[in-house]
Chains A and B, each alone.
Chain A
Amino acid sequence: MNVVRFILQNHVQVLELTLEHLWLVGFSTLLAVLVGVPLGIVISHRTSFSKPVLASANIIQTIPSLALFGFLLPLPWLGERSDRLAILALTLYALLPIIRNTYTGIRSVDPAVVEAGRGMGLTDSQLLFQVELPLAVSVILSGVRVAIVISVGLATIAAAIGAGGLGEFIFRGLAMVDNRVILAGAIPAAILALAADLGVGWLEKRLHAR
């Protein structure tokens, strides 16, 4: 097949762009987890904050990705390097599923169980780390999973601002009207999304609290 031959012939570049793609997605997801999970925990305990926080994350999600990249371009330090910009944008998009699932996961822990723990004299942090988070972990991870799958797709657009990744092939292929080149970007991206989905799914099952 043509596509396969093209990928094999350009395997060094395919590999390079795949790694770049992985870096964009991996780093932005990590940032989104570091911000989103604590934020989700806070709003699950102080529910008056939950509406504004979730609404903000929702609004970010509705901004078209190309426009978001454009909005961020004039920012100081960030605008200097397009991969910084791409990572920020991808982080913002990944926030919603992570915050929302953390919030939902913790809120859905049986209140009787939490109250029993409190009544036995667990401190707030013992309740959080020994009861709430372990019982919410599979819901939180399924949010991370959704975030990763979205990011893998969105990161292809980052090539439009020169941030690299598999989008390079896709945009080049579009310009050249050459399907082989488009697929050389799209197929590895799809494989990446599937692999991430399976990987986190496996983790989810392993960590699932009984």
Chain B
Amino acid sequence: MLGGHMPAEATTPVIEFRDVFYRIEQIQILSGLNLQVEQGEILVLLGRSGSGKTTTLKLVNRLVTPTSGEIRVHGVPNDQGDIIRLRRRIGYVIQDGGLFPHFTVERNVGLVPSIEGWPAARIRARVQELLDLVGIPAELASRYPRQLSGGQRQRVGVARALAADPGILLMDEPFGALDPLTRDELQLEFLSLQQRLHKTVLFVTHDLREALRLGSRIAMMETGKLVTVLSPEEFLRSADPWAAAYVRAFGDGLTSLANRGKS
């Protein structure tokens, strides 16, 4: 049903949320989250604003610390060991790229390799390789982020996240700020990239079309709770009231979208 995405049963999930609660002061942001992200899949967190999907994402690289429960990365609770090391093994992409405005494209992409102490020649080669991978012409390497278009910034953001070749990618509405044509283009390119790289991806969006197109599985969130986890085909057929409400809100023509991403 899920194509080649599901691994054999015995393997440890790459990311695992166990009974995670998160509260700021008296406000309950997440309650009782249990979720596994498997090797090589794109798990989409879908939900409206304030449903807790971005918080869920930030729990993985510990930008957010849970009130209770634990998050395991490759089977190891992520509050054990060096948090800086953990973050450098996880790629992080946010809306509009989150690029450093005072660094050139080249320095932005080469940042993690450079703080990891790679030799300059290796960094330069890696940056060229990555820019090529995400379709940024080499002559843009010396530009500053504000001299790029939104789509180019987003590509650079993806390249930067991939720089140290992390196994995991966290993506927080990466294509949310783009015009529809550019978004479409980047979604398709991201899928073909993923077919080559096989990263484990946790992807946040509120856009059902995007979720259907990119997701191996869709985890639907509402007011801090995980409602259901479904494949794109299942999602369209689902009788779950939240899922059905989402499908209704996005109207007709969704069926053809589901699983365009499958190889």
Contact = CB atoms under 8 A, between A and B. Distances in A.
A112 interface: yes
29 contacts: A112-B94, A112-B96, A113-B98, A113-B100, A113-B101, A116-B92, A116-B94, A116-B99, A116-B100, A117-B100, A119-B63, A119-B87, A120-B87, A120-B88, A120-B92, A121-B84, A121-B86, A121-B87, A121-B112, A121-B115, A122-B84, A122-B115, A126-B115, A130-B100, A134-B102, A209-B101, A210-B101, A210-B102, A210-B146
Nearest to A209: B102
Question: What is the interface of chain B mostly: helix, strand, loop, or mixed?
Answer: helix
Contacts, number: 59
Contacts of B86: 121
A110 B146 CA distance: 14
A123 interface: yes
A117 B157 CA distance: 12
Interface of A: 110, 112-113, 115-123, 126, 130-131, 134-135, 209-210
B61 interface: yes
A119 B61 contact: yes
Nearest to A126: B115
Given A209-B101, A210-B101, A123 B94 contact: no
A136 B94 CA distance: 22
Given A115-B63, A120-B111, A121-B87, A210 B144 contact: yes
Given A112-B94, A115-B94, A126-B115, A121 B88 contact: yes
A130 to B, nearest CB: 8
A122 B113 CA distance: 11
Contact of B102 (A119, A121, A135): A135
Nearest to A117: B100
B101 A112 contact: no
A62 B160 CA distance: 49
B151 to A, nearest CB: 18
Interface in B33-83: 58, 61, 63
Contacts of A118: 63, 87
B196 interface: no
Contacts of A122: 84, 111, 115
